[in-house]
Amino acid sequence: MNKTLLILVSHVSFFISHRLDLAITAKNMGYNVIVAFGELDADIKRLTDRGIDSFHTPIQRGGTNFLKDLKSLYSIWSLFRKVRPDIVHLVTIKPYLYGGIIARLTKVSCVVSAVSGLGSVFIHKDFRSRFLRLLLYPIYRLAFNHFNQRVIVQNKEDAKVLVELGVLNSQKIRLIKGSGARLEEFTQLDEPDGIPVVCFAGRLLYDKGIYDFVAAVKLLKKRGVQARFCLAGDLDIKNPTGLNIEDLNSLREDKNIEVLGFKKNIATLYAKAHIICLPSYREGLPKSLIEAAAASRAIVTTDVPGCRDAIIPNKTGLLVPVKNPGKLADALQWLIEQPQERIAMGKAGRQLAEREFRIEKIIKDHMDVYQDLLANIL
């Protein structure tokens, strides 16, 4: 009998960009794949076209609202009782916290909890964040205490934090480096001719370091550095650290930066760039940097969990201190003015992607986790 795999994720767009290939592979291998989302959009058609069933399960991504969170818990409980999955794969924070608790109550046999970065509450040191962390610790313990569970992390630092907090048994941890990249889509590996282009690619969030990038660009313009700077990404207003429309309009008025908006074809975008920059404050393992390596582009990013794990420092890219526009500008300037070093880093990045970030490898690692859990209940 086919095993039912239920994937629970906050937003359909995140699933499409980060987990669709996994779901398709699982379906092709005989799993009955069902996907449940907290937020829906037009991308849902890409699932129905592939014969993947889906449910809408209201899950509020950001913030804390007792009544809405209670509704989410009930909706997840109802979903698990209705579908009766053999495996639940819980992706992003509220799905793996609430879903992990409900999986225990509904006696789901196998649980996969995917930690795609620990999020802003683990970054900030203000009173509110510290207070929220204290509230979250017992919830994490409940969510990560299923008898047959694996917790997938994308970098070693996140695993270390969870173990040291006492919310996770290290025996449950599996390290899988990001969501992978389709290397065959990145065919334009040589740099384009012309003035160097530096590209920031990612959702427009404060915690992606977007304003550090803007400040660094201003410094470079003052120094007379010859380069073009572009910002590619979409608003994510429901994210607690997302920019709003007014912020975006202000960026568009900045003559130093080209605001490109959302770009569906990242391979085409990166083919026109020379350097990819992501000065984020903390990540799981950013897809934009995985794809930069696949595109054979040099990277400048911050020395924080997730970002540092996406490169080999001084070989495939440069690390700079977090929230330091001056150092960020220095690193960008060095790569702009050193084309041979830049090209060598890009080639080394492609080799890294071929070893570590191939989508086929990432999918196999996930399928191995599923099989290991199922073997425990046979």
SS3 category, 257? coil
Whether the Cβ atoms of residue 234 and residue 304 lie closer than 8 Å to each other: no
Output the CA torsion 100→103→107→111 (10° steps). Answer: -70
Q: Which of 92-96, 192-196, 370-374 has the lowest mean pLDDT?
A: 92-96
pLDDT of 129 higher than 80: no
| Residue 345 burial (10 A CB sphere; 0-12, 13-18, 19+) | buried
- The lowest-confidence range among 1-10, 83-92, 183-192, 291-300 is 1-10
- pLDDT at res. 252: 93
Distance of alpha carbon 180 from alpha carbon 68, whole angstroms: 33
Tokens at residue 304, please?
A: 């924080």
Q: Look at residue 270 and give its three-state secondary structure.
A: helix
Predicted model pTM: 0.92
Rounded alpha-carbon distances, angstroms, from residue 17 to 20, 99, 146, 266, 281: 7, 21, 28, 11, 21
pLDDT of 229 over the 80 cut: yes
* 162 CA to centre of own chain: 18
Q: What is the pLDDT of residues 38-75, one digit of tens each?
A: 876 656 777 777 888 888 888 876 666 778 889 999 99
Which pLDDT score is estimated for 120? 65
Whether the Cβ atoms of residue 142 and residue 365 lie closer than 8 Å to each other = no
CATH 3.40.50.2000 in the chain: give the residue spans.
4-180+359-375, 183-357
Range 183-357: architecture per CATH: 3-Layer(aba) Sandwich (3.40)
The structure tokens 């070693």 sit at 156
Mean pLDDT of 77-87: 96
Q: Assess whether pLDDT exceeds 80 at residue 106.
A: yes
Mean pLDDT, the chain, integer: 92
Query: Does the structure show a pLDDT above 60 at 76?
Result: yes
Tell which residue, 207, 343, 329, 240, has the closest CA to residue 277: 329
pLDDT score for 133:
81
pLDDT of residue 123: 65
pLDDT digits (tens, 9 = 90+) for 158-207: 999 899 888 999 999 999 999 999 999 999 899 999 999 999 999 999 99
Q: Is it the case that residue 87 has pLDDT exceeding 60?
A: yes
Tell me what pLDDT residue 63 has.
61
Rounded Cα distance between 203 and 235, Å, is 6
Average pLDDT of the residues in 198-222:
96
* Angle, helix 210-223 to helix 325-337, in steps of 10 degrees: 60
Percent of the chain with pLDDT over 90: 75
Q: Do you know the residue count of the chain?
A: 378
The highest-level CATH class for domain 4-180+359-375 is: alpha beta
Helix (H, G, I), strand (E, B) or coil at 311: coil
Contact between residue 91 and residue 7 where contact means Cβ atoms under 8 Å apart = yes
